[in-house]
Copies of this chain bind each other. A is one copy, B any other.
């Protein structure tokens, strides 16, 4: 395996440096030269280990920001969603500016867009699908309920619309209310 050349500690150090740089200069301002300098690596090593800047950035985020939804399993759908709301608030405060910058940059960088989807978004979606499958298995949601395909859409709507419309951050109280008002009724699980 190519990656075995770097120790896990060294990889972790490198990923943290990339995310740090990203917060300082943004995606467009981040250069492989700067990453090499900050981490005292050669650019050749960086390109050998990762295909390029989009992959390096997405992999760094993937390893330093733990998947939000993985491991959430309280035994009920409502419990799971409420736990996500609690974790989301913290994650959102920490990463909002970083993620906003990346979302903006990804519109002009198809490679970054693709890397973010594969390395950051798809794992969250997989974890969400597993969580919903358990709810269906427990009989909380009908297996053919159409809203099962749109839980991520409802959740994103909650996060993005609040600052836009109300000029406020999505805090825990708001998210818990949204779960009971929107997500559970749409799933027929209220």
Which residues of chain A have a CB within 8 Å of any CB of chain B? 97, 100, 103-104, 107, 113, 117, 121, 125, 146-147, 149-150, 152-158, 160-162, 164-165, 167, 177-178, 180-182, 185-186, 188
Q: How far is the CA of A159 from the CA of B80 in the complex (A)?
A: 25
Q: Quote the shortest CB–CB distance from A52 to chain B (angstroms).
A: 19
Contact of A147 among B97, B150, B153, B181 (CB under 8 A): B181
Contacts of A156 in B (CB 8 A): 157, 160-161, 164
Given A117-B167, A182-B186, A186-B185, A162 and B153 contact (CB-CB distance below 8 Å):
yes
Chain A interface, DSSP helix/strand/loop, else mixed: helix
Oligomeric state, in number of copies? 2
Q: Quote the shortest CB–CB distance from A176 to chain B (angstroms).
A: 12
Given A153-B157, A157-B157, A164-B156, A177 and B121 contact (CB-CB distance below 8 Å):
no
Contacts of A188 in B (CB 8 A): 185
